[in-house]
Amino acid sequence: MKVTDFLAADMIVSDLKSDTKTGVLSELAFHLANHMSGVDGNVLKKVLEERELLASTAIGDGIAIPHGKLDAVGRLVGTLGRARAGIEFESIDGKPTHLVFMLVAPASSTGVHLKALARLSRLFRDADFRDRLMVAPDAPAMYQVIVEEDAKY
Check residue 110 and give its pLDDT. 77
Check residue 111 and give its pLDDT. 84
User: Which residue range forms the structural domain that includes residue 33?
Assistant: 3-146
Report yes or no on 59 lying in a domain.
yes
Q: How many domains is the chain partitioned into structurally?
A: 1
Report yes or no on 94 lying in a domain.
yes
Q: What are phi and psi of 147, to 5 degrees?
A: -60, -45
Check residue 109 and give its pLDDT. 84
Report yes or no on 18 lying in a domain.
yes
CATH number at residue 39: 3.40.930.10
Full pLDDT tens readout for the chain, 153 residues: 999 999 999 999 999 999 999 999 999 999 999 999 899 999 999 999 999 999 999 999 999 999 999 999 999 999 999 999 999 999 999 999 999 999 999 988 878 888 999 999 999 999 999 999 999 999 999 999 999 999 987
Check residue 112 and give its pLDDT. 87
Check residue 40 and give its pLDDT. 95
What are the catalytic residues? Answer: 67
Residues 6+ apart with CB under 8 A from 56: 64, 89, 90, 91, 92
Check residue 126 and give its pLDDT. 95
Report yes or no on 88 lying in a domain.
yes
Report yes or no on 42 lying in a domain.
yes
Report yes or no on 153 lying in a domain.
no
| Tens digit of each residue's pLDDT (9 = 90 or more) over 83-103 | 999 999 999 999 999 999 999
